[in-house]
Structure 1
Amino acid sequence: MHPLCRFAFALPVALIAASMPVFGEDHQSANPVYSKTGPDAQGYGQNLGYPVGLPLLRQPYMVGNYSHYDSLHPSHLVAKAEKPSPFERASTELQVSYRYKDQTLTVQDYLARNPTTGLLIAKGNSILFEHYQYSRNDEQRFMSESMAKTFVSMLVGVAVAEHKIRTIDDTVETYVPELQHTEIGTTSIRALLHMASGIQYTQSYSKTDDNAKLHELLLSPTGPGPIATVKTFNTRVAEPESVFSYASLDTEVLGLVLTRSTGMSLSEYLQTRVWQPMGAEADARWIVDNTGQEIASCCFNATLRDYARFGLMLAHDGSFNDRQIIPRQWVLDATRPANPGSFLALGKGEHPSGYGYQVWLLSGKRRMFALEGVYGQRIFIDPESGLVLVHTAVRTQAVGSPGEAELHALWNGLIKEYGTSLPM
């Protein structure tokens, strides 16, 4: 069970947006395409109107919950820009094929085979493909899961550039004095960015792992608050910056460092430094704990097109619409391929190329990287071509789903067919 599924009340179906778009199958242009159904639609609650309610991962509620998660918990507003940055649209919708299990498949085959709620592909500033399933639409905000971690790391880069954080080699306790004399307090910001705090923490997505405990404490309306929650994990098992161990704990501490160093909430800092400068077209929401601190490791909610804007900004090394929003060198450092032999060059499983600053590095001959969240949330980015793929989903398996390998195959097919460099 997902660590956020610890509360067992239900919200009415009426919370789902009453006005829905006209659904159709127009594949001639790159305008949004909507479908009322999707793979195993009845299992995902189609006959119930895709209801919203907790537990989060009860399958008939997943579609509704992942597109209305900010109705389930308190959240902070991340306000849209006064003047959204415009998107162009391809006159003909992208058609891409890929190889998977000795078959040649199309992007339409992918959607028919996988519980994807939204899929958007963009290149440069042009949308090439935008499809929604299970009655989802382009005005709904989709929950990020751990894609939010990369948002946090980019804010750290902004805070360094603004001299609010002196250096990422500073320790946590420099900015969060309540964590003095704790193991996490003596850990460097750099180690947190690399998921290398060395603090004992289990994240297997079970009911009883440390990650479940962390999120239960943070999301409980009677929880002890973020400082006391973080102090719960105080056993060092490795020196900082020596062993990679994926831990949402590390991102939560980065969130505390940011709020203390900037004097602003994560939502306000994101809004003023990134969201509005990049020209977001819709409001976003970030879930908060009972003290008003954002859940830094997850729970950011935004539309697909605004996720695409964020991805395109990273594809352009922090620049969007001729404006440098995140420092270019920070984005390069955050997404640089790991050195062979480094503890960050993982070399196995789904991520053979390793890890950067709260961002996954993709295999290949050129620099590519991804924002990832459990249950199928992804943003793939190829800076060389400017290609970005945004994927939201409701997989019933947190990690290791067969759909993950197929999504990577789709991305590889996309790069093969459309991954030529952008003109200079």
Structure 2
Amino acid sequence: MPPASLRFLLLLPLALAGCSEMQSGHMSQAALPAASIAAPAEPHFNPGGPDMARYADASGQFPPASRRTWWQTSHSVDGFSRLDQILSANTVRKPETPSPWRRATGGPTITYAMQQTGSRRFSIDEYLARNPATGLLIAQGDTIHVERYQYGRTDTHRLTSFSMAKTVTALLVGLAVADGAIASIDDPAERYVPDLKDSEYGRTPIRHLLTMSSGVRFDEDYSGRDDVSRMVTAMMLPQSPGGPAAVRQFNQRIAPPGQRWSYASAETQVLGLVLRAAIKRPIAEYLSERIWQPIGAESDASWIVDGSGQEATFAYFNAVLRDYARLGMLLANGGKVDERQVIPADWLREMTRPHFTSTQTGRWFGYGFQTWIFPDNDGSFALLGVRGQAIYVDPARRLVMVHTAVRPQARDPGGAETTALWRGVKAAFARQPG
């Protein structure tokens, strides 16, 4: 057993990755209509970014990250953009030929406001000067309107997702149901994972794992001493076994399944165990075949694995920015690529409707199947990850915004401004033809 100080350094980065709900903000009145002028569409690469002293050394270089340091703010620029070189990972193979993007030659000016700034409006340039975003991409249909990078990141860096990966896991569960590998989401997890037999997570129906309502106690407060830290200890330390043992240790039921919503990364990890057992092959391979190749990804992606070789499905999926946008556009298009239905339409509808309302979650968002649902009731939803990772999706306008970042804290309030920016994006495109 490592000393307590070393254990803390090893565990905290992995514990923090479970949080996604802190990116929402409370911006229900944040955005006003925007005027229309040309918008930059070619990629723009900034070698710096805001608050450089926090992220770079005295010479302006970003310190290389290691297994012990990648989560630290001073090492996060490097760590968040090559996590699959620091931790063990499975590759998600790209297709031979990527799908093309168009580049906008004109479009709406995007501005946004926040309640606390009154009538003051901010541009995308001002947003990037205020926020530690590593990547920002806005696309409508097959056309990119904005693609920006900071802190020396480029369109070849695989940027980590943190809890955005939870939504990807739910997509794959739906495909396994469609394939017949999972007979029913009303089956208990132990039907597919015998090592969970007679445990509370094992007795929980898949349906209630999808909605974070298992009723099993799991504390996720990102203290470094909470249950997500314990789970990651059992998954990721060099001598840890990973697999079912990592989640079986959480075995106290405090509510009947389906009754109470409570955010718990363990529920997604149980879903990953069910999925891996059902499809009988690596999840990364299944993702490549069923989603990554159909969307025409331009680069290989990766997914970090635990000591057993099981993908850490609650977090740690890694991809380039334009491929995150392709994934978002798949969802904006109702699960279709051209005329091919890649994700079953009925499954995507179930994923993106509020099984729990914002009142029930106690958050600004409602919750579907591992997906955050906007309270506006306009069909918009989001994939969210700790420290600033997000894919916002508006199916009505076929509109997607991808945001990656190195926010310094798990409970960082900066996510409120990102949500305000998204509202400005939606307002700007509201008058544009889809």
TM-score norm. by structure 2 comes to: 0.88
Query: Which structure 2 segments of 5+ residues have no match?
Result: 14-37
Q: Deviations over 1:379-407 (max 9, x none)?
A: 000000011000000111112x2311111
Q: Which amino acid in 2 is paired with 1:91?
A: T
What corresponds to 2:367 in structure 1?
A: 355
1:319-398 alignment to 2 at 5 Å?
319-338=336-355, 344-347=356-359, 351-398=363-410
Q: Deviations over 1:144-189 (max 9, x none)?
A: 0000000000001101111111111111011111111111111000
Query: Which structure 1 segments of 5+ residues have no match?
Result: 10-26, 339-343
Q: Which moved more, 1:350-359 or 1:113-122?
A: 350-359
Does the CA contact (< 8 Å) of 1:286 and 1:294 recur in 2?
Answer: yes
What corresponds to 1:408 in structure 2?
A: 419
Q: Please state whether the residue corresponding to 1:184 is helix, strand or coil.
A: helix
Equivalent pairs, count? 399
Matched, 1:263 2:274: no
Q: Which amino acid in 1 is paired with 2:415?
A: E
Q: Please state whether the residue corresponding to 1:274 is helix, strand or coil.
A: helix
Q: Deviations over 1:228-262 (max 9, x none)?
A: 11111111111111100000000000001001111
In 2, Cα distance between the equivalents of 1:378 and 1:60? 21
Cα deviation for residue 57 of structure 1 reads 2.5
Does the CA contact (< 8 Å) of 1:317 and 1:328 recur in 2?
Answer: yes
Cα deviation for residue 221 of structure 1 reads 1.6
CA 1:327–1:4: 2 relative to 1, 3 Å? farther
In 1, Cα distance between the equivalents of 2:228 and 2:12? 19
Q: Please state whether the residue corresponding to 1:129 is helix, strand or coil.
A: strand
Q: Please state whether the residue corresponding to 2:80 is helix, strand or coil.
A: helix
1:113-128 alignment to 2 at 5 Å?
113-128=130-145
Does the CA contact (< 8 Å) of 1:5 and 1:56 recur in 2?
Answer: no
Percent identity for Structure 1 against Structure 2: 42
RCO greater where, 1 or 2, for CA within 8 Å and sep 6 or more? 2
Matched, 1:66 2:80: yes
CA 1:31–1:211: 2 relative to 1, 3 Å? same
For 2:228, which of 196, 211, 221 is the aligned residue? 211
For 2:56, which of 42, 45, 61 is the aligned residue? 45
What corresponds to 1:19 in structure 2?
A: none
Does the CA contact (< 8 Å) of 2:52 and 2:60 recur in 1?
Answer: no
In 2, Cα distance between the equivalents of 1:391 and 1:288? 24
What corresponds to 2:10 in structure 1?
A: 6
CA 1:244–1:279: 2 relative to 1, 3 Å? same
What corresponds to 1:22 in structure 2?
A: none
Cα deviation for residue 420 of structure 1 reads 5.0
Cα deviation for residue 95 of structure 1 reads 2.8
Does the CA contact (< 8 Å) of 2:361 and 2:367 recur in 1?
Answer: no
Q: Which moved more, 1:216-225 or 1:108-117?
A: 216-225
Matched, 1:169 2:186: yes
Cα deviation for residue 225 of structure 1 reads 2.1
In 2, Cα distance between the equivalents of 1:349 and 1:413? 25
Does the CA contact (< 8 Å) of 2:261 and 2:360 recur in 1?
Answer: no
In 2, Cα distance between the equivalents of 1:123 and 1:215? 37
What corresponds to 2:307 in structure 1?
A: 290
Q: Which amino acid in 1 is paired with 2:219?
A: T
